[in-house]
Amino acid sequence: MAGTAMLWSNKITEKITVLNEGSHRISAVTLSDDILDFNLYCVYMPCQNYSMDLFESTLDELGEIMTKYSNSTTIILGDMNASVNRSKGYRQDKALKSFLNEKHLSVPKDYPRRAYVLHHGGGNNLPRLII
């Protein structure tokens, strides 16, 4: 089973607090500086080969962690295995859109609308950024 990882420069280690929350699909840290505290979440959502229940439970888990640490700005990075731009309306897309609305999150307006995939076989993928 795949998991997530977060890596950062040694220069900012003292500003990072690892939040020991979530499963292997979610990594979470708080980055604190003199101006702003924010939570970074790295998420690997289940792909369509997995059950919709697992997709929804991972969103629920992320939501619970976000609620627990709601005193900071939230940034979510990772492989969402869903799209907010796709018109076909896959169940994962609908669940992600609902989650974004519920949590008052959005994809930056100038973020690429096209999905990219980077695979060991030669393709590429650009993960989604949600703020």
The answer to whether residues 21 and 4 touch, using CB atoms and an 8 Å cutoff, is no
73 beta partners: 38
Residue 115 to residue 21: CA distance in whole angstroms: 29
pTM, entire model: 0.80
Q: Which helix (H) or strand (E) segment is 101 a member of? A: helix 91-103
pLDDT tens digits along 73-83: 999 999 899 88
**Domain 10-130 classified CATH 2.60.120.380?**
no
Grade residue 36 by pLDDT with cuts at 50, 70 and 90: confident
32 beta partners: 37
Q: Tell me what pLDDT residue 43 has.
A: 94
CB burial string 41-60: b at 16+ within 10 A, e below: bbbbbbeeeeeeeebbebbe
Q: Are strands 37-44 and 73-79 parallel, antiparallel or unpaired?
A: parallel
